[in-house]
Amino acid sequence: MKRYAVYYAPRPGAFASRAAAWLGWDVALGQPVAQPDLPGLPVPAAALTTDPRKYGFHGTIRAPFRPADGLTGADIAATVARLASTLPPCVCDGLHLEILHGFLALTPMGDETALLALGAGVVEGTNALRAPLTAAEITKRRPEKLNPRQRELLDRWGYPHVMEAFRFHLTLTSRLAADHADQAAKVLRDHFAPVLPQPFVIEDLCLFGEDAAGRFHLLHRYPLSG
């Protein structure tokens, strides 16, 4: 794996299956799955999900990173496993669908204090695993668009949307034109409503890896047991 990440991914069940089918990529199986043909979409599901498909259904906790020099996949796995044993599960009221900067995502409802604490703990606990950012990686984050605090977070933790700037979300589409986003949102609210968890619980840290083709795979699931 050329990069690793720590994500939330739902445990096997109706929610996980429906989300994997929507994106067309099953991270647990590491293979494509057939996407649904949903009446009312502005274009086929495959055209709406081009960008998130390679990542699979997930919520970012530690964004993808290249391993620090000398670290193996086993080293990274052991660190994430130890970290999961020190952190408690996180509970929110549920999930709802939002349009975020032009893309559709599921976001948590209710008090997010515990979620912010989990995100901060994971970012801090995995920071030694990542190689320093290259100039190209910094440029990809468009530092000229970041505010001073976000630039500080990027330099300190390798990603600008962490700590108090963390906003957990589960991406469902690529960035869409406004009319397509509105139309797709109506369809997807109904499509996901029967399987959305209430409450929404983050029970595990999931270690993902990015293969040579740029597809992400669920490598290990570690229960939060702190």
Question: In this predicted structure, what is the pLDDT of residue 143?
Answer: 83
How far apart, in whole angstroms, are the C-alpha atoms of residue 103 and residue 55? Answer: 15
How far apart, in whole angstroms, are the C-alpha atoms of residue 194 and residue 176? Answer: 24
Domain around 198:
3-133+168-220
145 lies in a domain? Answer: no
Query: pTM higher than 0.85, yes or no?
Result: yes
159 lies in a domain? Answer: no
**Mean pLDDT of all residues in 203-223:** 97
Question: In this predicted structure, what is the pLDDT of residue 19?
Answer: 98
**Mean pLDDT of all residues in 25-51:** 96
198 lies in a domain? Answer: yes
* pLDDT tens-place string over residues 115-165: 999 999 999 999 999 999 998 888 888 888 889 999 999 999 999 999 999
Residue with tokens 């052991």: 78
Q: Is the pLDDT of residue 17 over 90?
A: yes
The total number of structural domains in the chain stands at 1
CATH of residue 178's domain is 3.90.1140.10
37 lies in a domain? Answer: yes
Mean pLDDT of the chain: 96
Q: Which of these, 172, 12, 195, 205, lies nearest to 94 by C-alpha position?
A: 195
66 lies in a domain? Answer: yes
138 lies in a domain? Answer: no
